[in-house]
Structure 1
Amino acid sequence: MKLEQLFNKKVDRPIEGVIKADDDVALYVELDEYVITDEVAKRLDIFLDAYLNYQGANGVWVSGFFGSGKSHLLKMLALLLENNPIEDITPLEIFLEKRPLNEGGIFANDLKRAVSIPSDSILFNIDQKADVISKTELDALIAVFVKVFDEHCGFYGKQAYIAQFERELKDDHLLDEFKSKFKYISGMEWEKGRARAKRMADAVDKAYNEVSGQNVSGILDKYRADYRLSIEDFAEQVQSYIVEQEEGFRLNFFVDEVGQYVAGNIKLMTNLQTVAESLATKCKGQAWVIVTAQEDMSSVLGEVNQQSENDFTKIQARFKNRMKLTSQDVAEVIQRRLLEKKDEFIPVLSDLYHEQENSFKTLFNFADGSQSYKNFKDREHFLQSYPFIPYQFGLFQSAIQNLSTYGAFEGKHSSVGERSMLGVFQQVAVAIKDHKLGELATFDLMFEGIRTALKTANQQAILRAELNLDNKFAVRLLKALFLVKYVKEFKPTIRNLCVLMHDSFSRNLPSLKLEVEEALNLLEKETYIQRNGDLFEYLTDEEQDVEKAIKDTEIDSDVIAAQLDKLIYDGVLKNRKIRWEENSQDYPFSRKLDDKLSGRENELAINVITSFHDYRDAYEKHKSDTLFNHELRLVLPESARLVGDLVLYKQTEKYVAHETKATQQDNIKRILTEKGLQNVERYNQLKALTSKLVGSATYFVAGKEVELSGEDGQSKMVRAFGELIKYTYPNLKMLRDITYRENDIADIIKKAGQGLLGEDAQLPEPQQEMFSHIQSNSRGGIRTTVKSLLEKFESKPYGWSFAAILCNLAHLCANGKVEVREATNLLDDANLSRTLRNISVHSNLILDPQVEFTPSQIRAVKNFYNDYFEMVAHASEPKAIAKELQESFSTQATELDKLQSQADQYPFLRVLSDIVIKLNDFKTRPYTWFMTELAKQEDTWFDYKDQTIDPVVKFMKGAKKAIYDDAKQVITEQKANIEYVEGDEYKSIQDALVNATIYKGTVIQQLKTDTEMLVRKINAQVKTEQKSAIESIEILQDKLVNFEDFKLLDLARQEQLTSEFSRVMTKLKQQSLIAMLRDEARRFEEQAYTQLVQKLMDWSQPSPEPKDNSKPDAEPQKGSTSGKTKIISGVQESVKSQVKSVSARQIKVEYAKPWLSTASDVEEYVEEYKKALLQTINDGKNIQL
């Protein structure tokens, strides 16, 4: 099915997109197809009330954006009020068939009454009628009015003096006769000849002289010379014309596009007001001026309200009746004139709606910070709009308005004027009429509807792209980007551009996104657009854009408004926040003046309404507005002095500042200084006046006027603001009369300790409200931070203070209802107080409701704690129990780690390594793990406790450790003796010391037994070895002392020899090493003893007798034996012959065999040994046995 089949009327039928004031063709079609929207009906109703009940205001201002239907409405009014038949039917009859007039009622009756008043309508486009008149001329505007009035009267409007000539002839009843004479003389109709006045001057003179009986020359030149344009004369002429008509007759001027004509020109605007005012004065409501403008009146006035407050007030008063058309009006017109569907296709369209309704938000809602535009509201809305999408009406309007602002269109008023919204949408509808059901109009198609009105320079990039780019989709996307270039509230991201280019319900979104991305990449590469982050922007000549933006910057009423704002808020109220006495809490507020926000927007607002506001006197409106807006509204009394002095103050300030820098003349400087001082005083007076006006203002809150006593403006504003607080924040009462301070947070956490309020205790209302919010977010998967919590409860309907929110949160945290995490770290009480008060981390503090645990889970964990650590858990709340358990595990890990560090000395302690690792792992476990998962490991940990931890700890702290140490000490210290001891004790001890489970069972007892036995054996063996060694020494001593030679020694030498024996025996008694005992005895026998014997022999040898030739030999000493003389005294001893002695062990026997095996071998060995002994004796040596 093609889209064109859906429509009730052919979409390609002729529809005049732009209604022209001077176009009389197809008037019936214009009347028949005109749509009375709901908004237009309201505006018409208001107009008719004013028209029927004249109250002195005869001016009507019809405003609206491009293509909103202003001109069409103006033309319909002109045709209706005049009500001349068109094709045998009157405009009234056509209109009475339209909704809502066909329903009857007051609206229809008022229209009938208005039409019944006899009237003429003079409808014209002021720009067209002023084709040869310069706007710079002072009387340009009145000249146009005179021209169209003259033409209406049948006179020559192009030359006012000729029209005046005709008017006077008519007044003298000579005009018809003059026309006849002129035709007779010139052969030409007067209506044609008057356009050739100079060439026909003689004929004019002759005809005039004949009908007037005068004889004048150059009559028209005289009229030209004498003619003077006057608003007052014009009003009198109109009044005369009205008097000539039937009773009650009215003459209405319908002026199209007057707003553009007079825009920014103070003189022209003032003249327009004067025209309307003069007509009102002269004609008493029988002459009306109805005008249209693309902007509302305040925008058109421009600098007027800065130059003259009096003129501004007059203009407002004269054009008090205002009719503003909106985009909703246009949308409704387009829907009813162009998009109305045939009844037979409603079901299939309804099916399409139901198939797609759940995806409308996904497909057509803008994101990424763009302004929200309308989407399909319901089935009816879909039927009315399809194949267009609701956002297109509003977005296209914004696009056109902004393009116009930036001078994108041809024409002297930089506005479209050649197209209407209806015309553009019809062109798009025609372009897609052959598309299938389910396809959509894309936003780029709107470009073709305005292409011809655009300046070539502004669409140059598109023209180049159409010639050079093969990617047609990219060209279409470029057109869409052009349309939204200056729409600041639209963010041209990929997502939003996909919405603009979505051409069918069956379109695959990922493929559309890919196509958009590819097109954007191409356009960016070819420099048709620029990318700015995620935004894409159409490129034009930047210098022209900047230049135009600068030239269009207005310094208008904003300057005055800003100063008045300062006077009220800084001068009277004085504070940026208002403290409410009932809770001592400070509340920030938005500053508004005449509905316009100044500065930061807050939840509460104060809106001061001044004389500049359109509805200053609409008290019911102020009541209804404050019923839905959370603002305190003050309506200031009228004060011409305030406005006048304020404008003068700003003018003086600006002028003095500029000229003081520029001038070099001393006298000028002095004057400027005086003006500056006067201005300071003027400002002080302004402050006093403003305060007085605020004190006399009318206050509105919550749909009611607030009655306040006193005259002090500041006090009344504060008290009225208190009423606004109570209305906006009904949940403030939850806090009751409790005073909260930030310093209380630490005390709350400290005093609450680790216990809950009690299982059955109810949370206080504010805490329960807060806890419910956190729980709700948690269930919905929404993360709650301290920052978001503050935002929630600082705003309506709560309005709680920063301290109140944090204190209640602290209660929830301290009582275990809520836990706070920073990143993934759960904050404990020690850090919680400090962190809650640190604003910089609030966005990182995550709030979670504490997990609920069953009583059995809590009891199981407590029982585990009691049994495992063999002490009672102090906590009763899950989180606190888990914390206590975690701390105990940590302590145990530290203690076991200290033991584990001794594993080099006690190898069996390595069994603790894995346990310590697992215990340390508990430090990072969330408390919920202990409540839910620890029970699963209960058997494991009790096994650790029973089989390892407790036995090891008991071992290391008890007597068993001493046994282990003693055993280790014994085998260390007695290592040298062990090899001389028989038995298996040493091997058993070694095995026990490296036994990984020595701390278990009876191993340690056996170790003790083995150690004691080994010690006893060693001690016994040592004693045996000592005894043997000493006995061997004693034998040697006996041998030595029994030598006869020893007995011959003096006592000193005897003691010297025997002391060596005593010394070595003492040493042997002290030696506990068996090897050393044996070695010491051997060395003494082989070395020390030999030396002692040698010494004995040495001392025993006789001294040689001295040879004296003079004396005979001395006689032997008495007592000597064997005839040999021996010298005993060491003093008398002289040199002796040295006799050597050797130990029998040292004598080497020359025997070839390694052992003795036969008797013969023995005899041979003894013989050889005998030879060796004899040889030693022969060598003069003694043999020591």
Structure 2
Amino acid sequence: ANRLLKALFLVKYVDTFKATPRNLTVLVYDRFGLDLTGLGKQVQEALNLLEAQSYVQRNGNVYEYLTNEEQEIEKEIKAVDVDSAEVSSKLFRYLSSDILKTNKLKYAKNGQDFSFGYKLDDVPQGNQRELTIHFITPETSYSDSEIAAQSMGRDELRVFLGRDKRLLADLRLLLKTERYTKQRTNSGATPSMQAILQSKQVLNADREKELIERLRQAVGKAQLIINAAEIPSSSQDAVTRVSDGFQELVSRTHTNLGLLGGKVYPEQQVAGAVQSETGLFDAATLSALNSPGTEMESWIITQTGLGEKVTIKKIVDRFETKPYGWDLGSIEVVLGWLVGNGKVALSVDSNPVVRTEVTDLIRNTGKHPHVVVAPQKAYDHAKVAAFKKFCTDFFDEGAVPSDPTELARFGKDKLAARRDELNALVSSSRYPFVSQLAGVVALLDEVVGKQVDWYLTDFNKADELLEAKEDLIDPIKSFLNGQQAKIFDETQALLNTNAGNLGYLPTGSADTVKALLADANAFRGNKMNQLKTAADTLRGQIDDIVTDKRAEVTAAIDDRRAEILGSTYYANATPAAQESAIRRIDSILARLGGETQAALILQTGATFEQDDYPELLSRLVEAQQGGDDDAPPPKPMVSVKSISVPDASGVLESQADVDTYLAKYRAALVATLNDGKRITL
């Protein structure tokens, strides 16, 4: 040890000499014939003694002489207290972040990534997973056989790093040096001490790199153990060697992983699995899903039979763990396949989930705890087929769901919508025969609002509803949506518009039209064609009577017009008065030409005779040319028809009655004249 100490002192500042045990053995070889192996052992023992007494320091495999001041610092460094947890934490960081650099490894047989947790000498490090990589350090207190025996029944890969205890000793020295240099650097050290501390920091950085490399080599040569059996690996690369062992760990732990046929299904394929009948999945893939699907279905049936409420989350938790180890995407695809094939049904808050919503619910992990999965209830195939045929026929739907639950939901919603539609027609329609749909609404009320299962088990109104559809619903809807309704509306409008004109037609002229409009079967057969024919006939009669009355009144007014134009009143009137009179007559004739009601036409004629004609003559008289301003105003004109005979009532039965009436009439006429008026005849 003294000879080595002197030698180390001599080469302390010789940078080109590396003071390794081998080089030092050569340096102290002082005569031929020495046993180099024995001398090497003596050198190593002496170096260990010098290191223990802090005369030298070691960094990896290189030794360095320490000055007195350096020795004191080295002793202080070795005296620093380092907690074992700190050592484990540093070692874990090296293994996880610097060597393996991951917390998941790929399973080569299907390309699936499996997460794992870390352990160091039975102490968990970081987040734990179902699979574990357990590093056994050289300072373990267990023998090789005990290390193997303790792995029995555990889902872990044990990586035994060997018996090189100097590995952790150097790690402790690194931590002690790191803590010491930080403390002393901040406490006002002398310049010489600062230099030593800086040297220590540089040396410690090299020590850390060397430690990581030694640790990497230790992992590359480590013994791999699973369930008391050593796992062979030809690789000395740390990551590859651990990965080799991890492959065996996955295959031994997840024995049912093979049910997926060596495939991993991405969640994007959930829609294809759910809609398996649409061809979004190829036949081979759908067939491959049969095996894992049967396994999942069996578990769901078992749990449901035990009274458990199975949610998607429970399914995921079950099949992500051993003995399955399926990834989330594959679990979701298998579940989608079960739904798509009618094996299971989903519900939320006891409400069945329709197929169009299944994919989104399965892929939404936030919804997984709330979506209940239950075996599909078995229904009578004949009843399901019968209800499906009813839905196809009654709703005229080509795309009716095949899944029983979705079919029932579809039929339930459609029946409610049809009931509401027909009820609205009955309440608001102006067609009297639509009230017959009230019976169909009552029938629909009996089947609306039932539980979903009821439509597949107890629905028994198919024949009655289909008969009502054929006999009432379709004919009435066809009537309302076609030309028949237009004919009905136009005819009804004809009657409403010409209510006053009908009184001028022969009795019973409109009876046929009215009867057809009120007919309870007006929507059937050719009733509307008959109505159109009858309406056209009635319209012709109305047009004829209106035309006749208009011609009659027009002729009478034209006659009065001729009388006015040939009168002296007109001849003596001013041009303005003449023009005004003619314009007034033309206006009345124009209005008469646009009038369509016989009563109003006749009323216009009567009004002209009684009011307009006398008034026109009065205005012409008032507008005489060359009149004397001092002359009295002209007498007003009144129609002879406006003169009433007092006390003239009853019936003329004799000549005496006629004479009496004429006497009274003459008196009325004379009284009118005496009243300063003139009478138009």
On the 8 A contact 1:589/1:604 being kept in 2, the answer is yes
Deviation at 1:961, TM superposition (A): 0.9
User: How far apart in 1 are the matches of 2:185 and 2:354?
Assistant: 66
Aligned to 1:591: 118
Deviation at 1:742, TM superposition (A): 3.3
Deviation at 1:907, TM superposition (A): 6.8
Aligned to 2:322: 796
Aligned to 1:642: 167
Deviation at 1:567, TM superposition (A): 3.1
Q: Which amino acid aligns with 2:496?
A: T
Of the three residues 637, 641, 664, the one matched with 1:1145 is 641
Deviation at 1:1033, TM superposition (A): 4.1
Aligned to 1:562: 89
Q: How do 1:161-240 residues align onto structure 2 when only pairs under 5 Å count?
A: none
Aligned to 2:663: 1167
User: How far apart in 2 are the matches of 1:694 and 1:1097?
Assistant: 137
Unmatched tracts of structure 2, length 5 or more: 1-76
On the 8 A contact 1:652/1:675 being kept in 2, the answer is yes
Of the three residues 656, 659, 675, the one matched with 2:200 is 675
Of the three residues 281, 305, 310, the one matched with 1:784 is 310
Aligned to 1:932: 457
Per the alignment, in what secondary structure is the counterpart of residue 601 of structure 1? coil
Aligned to 2:600: 1076
On the 8 A contact 1:754/1:814 being kept in 2, the answer is no
On the 8 A contact 1:1102/1:1136 being kept in 2, the answer is no
Per the alignment, in what secondary structure is the counterpart of residue 679 of structure 2? strand
Q: Deviations over 1:694-743 (max 9, x none)?
A: 33332221231223334333322221121111111111222223343333
On the 8 A contact 2:394/2:469 being kept in 1, the answer is yes
Please state if 1:770 is matched with 2:296: yes
The percent of aligned pairs where both chains have the same amino acid is 25
Of the three residues 843, 868, 882, the one matched with 2:394 is 868
Aligned to 2:612: 1088
- CA distance change for structure 1 residues 1183 and 632 in 2, over 3 Å: closer, same or farther? closer
Q: Which amino acid aligns with 2:329?
A: A
Aligned to 1:808: 334
Q: Give the TM-score of the pair, scaled to structure 2.
A: 0.72
Deviation at 1:886, TM superposition (A): 6.9
User: How far apart in 2 are the matches of 1:618 and 1:858?
Assistant: 67
Deviation at 1:977, TM superposition (A): 3.1
Deviation at 1:1014, TM superposition (A): 5.4
On the 8 A contact 1:985/1:1011 being kept in 2, the answer is no
User: How far apart in 2 are the matches of 1:1146 and 1:1169?
Assistant: 12
Per the alignment, in what secondary structure is the counterpart of residue 820 of structure 1? strand
- CA distance change for structure 1 residues 691 and 1103 in 2, over 3 Å: closer, same or farther? closer
Q: Which amino acid aligns with 1:860?
A: A
On the 8 A contact 1:732/1:800 being kept in 2, the answer is yes
On the 8 A contact 1:865/1:872 being kept in 2, the answer is no
Per the alignment, in what secondary structure is the counterpart of residue 626 of structure 1? coil
On the 8 A contact 2:82/2:176 being kept in 1, the answer is no
Aligned to 1:628: 153
- CA distance change for structure 1 residues 577 and 1073 in 2, over 3 Å: closer, same or farther? same
Deviation at 1:605, TM superposition (A): 1.7
Please state if 1:844 is matched with 2:375: no
Aligned to 1:969: 493
On the 8 A contact 1:754/1:877 being kept in 2, the answer is no
- CA distance change for structure 1 residues 669 and 892 in 2, over 3 Å: closer, same or farther? farther
Please state if 1:743 is matched with 2:248: no
Q: Deviations over 1:412-454 (max 9, x none)?
A: xxxxxxxxxxxxxxxxxxxxxxxxxxxxxxxxxxxxxxxxxxx
Q: Give the TM-score of the pair, scaled to structure 1.
A: 0.44
- CA distance change for structure 1 residues 827 and 1141 in 2, over 3 Å: closer, same or farther? closer
On the 8 A contact 1:730/1:798 being kept in 2, the answer is yes
Q: Which amino acid aligns with 1:945?
A: K
On the 8 A contact 2:433/2:520 being kept in 1, the answer is yes
Q: Which amino acid aligns with 1:597?
A: P
- CA distance change for structure 1 residues 1155 and 673 in 2, over 3 Å: closer, same or farther? farther
Q: Deviations over 1:363-400 (max 9, x none)?
A: xxxxxxxxxxxxxxxxxxxxxxxxxxxxxxxxxxxxxx
Number of residue equivalences: 599
Q: How do 1:870-1019 residues align onto structure 2 when only pairs under 5 Å count?
A: 876-878=402-404, 900=425, 903=428, 906=431, 928=453, 930-933=455-458, 935-978=459-502, 983=507, 999=523, 1011=535, 1015=539, 1018-1019=542-543
Of the three residues 229, 241, 244, the one matched with 1:704 is 229
Per the alignment, in what secondary structure is the counterpart of residue 651 of structure 1? helix
On the 8 A contact 1:902/1:909 being kept in 2, the answer is no
Per the alignment, in what secondary structure is the counterpart of residue 627 of structure 1? coil
Q: Which amino acid aligns with 1:1169?
A: Y
Q: CA RMSD in A?
A: 4.9
Please state if 1:733 is matched with 2:258: yes
Of the three residues 100, 113, 116, the one matched with 1:573 is 100
Q: Deviations over 1:158-192 (max 9, x none)?
A: xxxxxxxxxxxxxxxxxxxxxxxxxxxxxxxxxxx
Per the alignment, in what secondary structure is the counterpart of residue 766 of structure 1? helix
Please state if 1:855 is matched with 2:397: no
- CA distance change for structure 1 residues 1103 and 623 in 2, over 3 Å: closer, same or farther? closer
On the 8 A contact 2:139/2:163 being kept in 1, the answer is no
On the 8 A contact 2:343/2:376 being kept in 1, the answer is yes
User: How far apart in 1 are the matches of 2:106 and 2:472?
Assistant: 68
Q: Which amino acid aligns with 1:596?
A: V
Q: Which amino acid aligns with 1:675?
A: K
On the 8 A contact 2:560/2:613 being kept in 1, the answer is yes
User: How far apart in 1 are the matches of 2:578 and 2:212?
Assistant: 136
Per the alignment, in what secondary structure is the counterpart of residue 124 of structure 2? strand
Per the alignment, in what secondary structure is the counterpart of residue 582 of structure 1? coil
Aligned to 2:243: 718
User: How far apart in 1 are the matches of 2:673 and 2:238?
Assistant: 147
User: How far apart in 2 are the matches of 1:1180 and 1:564?
Assistant: 138
Of the three residues 526, 546, 551, the one matched with 1:1022 is 546
Of the three residues 670, 673, 695, the one matched with 2:220 is 695
- CA distance change for structure 1 residues 636 and 915 in 2, over 3 Å: closer, same or farther? farther
